[in-house]
Amino acid sequence: MKNIVLLFADDMRYGMIENPDVITPNLERLAAGGVLYRNAHIPGGTSGAVCMPSRAMLHTGRLLEGLAKAGRFIPDEHRMLGEILKENGFETHGIGKWHNGTDSYARSFTGGAEIFFGGMDDHWNVPANNFDPTGKYHKKILKSRNPYNTNETMEYNCDHITPGKHSSELFTDASIDFIEKRNKNKPFFLYTAFMAPHDPRTMPKEFLAMYDMKKTRLPKNYLPFHPFDFAGFDTRDERLAPYPRTEEIVRQHLTEYYAMITHLDHCIGKILDKLESENLMDDTLVIFAADNGLAVGSHGLFGKQSLYEHSIRVPLVISGPDIPRNEKRVEPVYIADIFPTILDYLDISIPDTCQTKSLTETFTKETKIWDSLNLRYRNHIAGIKKDGFKLIKYFHGSEPMYSLFNLTDDPNEINDLANDSVYSDILDKLLYEINSNWKQLDI
């Protein structure tokens, strides 16, 4: 039985690998040894904290409509990846961020370290937990929510903090420690979920020094303001930069974002090096992906609470035994397809609770897995991607608003065709599918 290593980034949008503006030698090395999916997606989000439902989908193979309470917890009847691998003799080890409740973590893993239950925090002082075999994780600490502006406190699951050690290095060292000390009589599933490149975007300064902010290019769809208001327009993420989004402030944020990714890449390189030094690469499937994208100045936005490509598309690399090397795939897939893919790869039965599709066919050839992708942001925005077009329906205000993009000709979604009569038939056809698929989400 092959081992599984699943490395998961936080807020890393598509197009960051093999990008001349971003230094990622280790992710490029991983992609050169496997398949790089250039059109991997999440279907949107059921919460402003988009990473929460995204991670629930990853571990269950379910889609947005199949989640309970936006993924804040995962019901017992929703079979989980780690749970199934445990039943099939795997040592399952979880490290880093877990945003779906302590009960589902306990169901998934036989061990773990530096476990962070939450959405975001200080990268240099992570409120972490050691593995609790009882699954209770009852130890709590109080932290000030924002000590500069309020005396309000928050309660965290936490039994220790390692002051001054960056989250990416904390989780990397824990991963290396597991690889060294693993049970060599069992196959293993290592899930390392990083907090980077999520803000606050702070990293060891030598990685920021690798970039010249003056040379950072603005995105082609940069705007100082979004053209119209919509639900999600005033989330926390959108308050990270003032309006108008000036070229200078966007360059600053992008440069810091790229430096966070380069530091993350450096840490992932250490994990890959350890797998190689332990002679495990020939027996291990390594997957890299992320929970959602991020605007960082595109369309006048900074967050991920939208259905634009920069928010719903993410990196995906699959590398390992029996996987072709240096292959690229462009057909659309979901990140939640990772769940059935791993089970299919291991010849383990995929449970009936799974709603996504295995990608094993795509390893050796370009294959169309999904005819269309259904997209949602909470109960406020709906969308569909099909046949090279994307239609977005906004429910904000007294009447719906629409945006239609020809992604083949306009991948940056600059030219809105919704009011162009030439495309009225396409709009009507896609709108029919959106309305047919619509139902209230359990949020």
Residue 228's CB: how many other CB atoms inside 10 A?
Answer: 11
330: helix, strand or coil: coil
Between CA 241 and CA 61 the distance in angstroms is: 35
Which is more confident, 47 or 3?
A: 3
Residue range 173-210, pLDDT digits in tens = 999 999 999 999 999 999 999 999 999 999 999 999 99
Residue range 7-52, pLDDT digits in tens = 999 999 999 999 999 999 999 999 999 999 999 999 999 888 999 9
**136-143 contacts at long range (C-beta below 8 A, 24 or more positions apart):** 136/102, 137/102, 137/105, 137/106
Distances, alpha carbon 132 to alpha carbons 89, 105, 188, 288, in Å: 20, 10, 19, 27
Residue range 126-157, pLDDT digits in tens = 999 999 999 999 899 998 888 888 899 988 89
First-to-last alpha carbon distance for the chain, in angstroms, is: 38
Between CA 252 and CA 243 the distance in angstroms is: 15
Token pair 């991607």 is at which residue?
385
Q: What is the mean pLDDT of residues 263-283?
A: 98
Token pair 């991670």 is at which residue?
55
Domain boundaries, the chain: 3-365
Token pair 């039943």 is at which residue?
87
Which is more confident, 18 or 398?
A: 18
- Report the candidate in 238, 213, 236, 216 with the shortest Cα–Cα distance to residue 225: 238
Q: What is the mean pLDDT of residues 83-109?
A: 97
439 — pLDDT class (breaks 50, 70, 90): confident
Between CA 346 and CA 353 the distance in angstroms is: 18
Instruction: Give the CATH H-level superfamily of domain 3-365.
Output: Alkaline Phosphatase, subunit A (3.40.720.10)
Residue range 233-271, pLDDT digits in tens = 778 999 999 999 999 999 999 999 999 999 999 999 999
Q: CA-based diameter of the chain, in Å?
A: 65
What region, left, alpha or beta, does residue 72 occupy, with left being phi > 0 and alpha being psi -120 to 50 degrees?
alpha
pLDDT at 234: 77
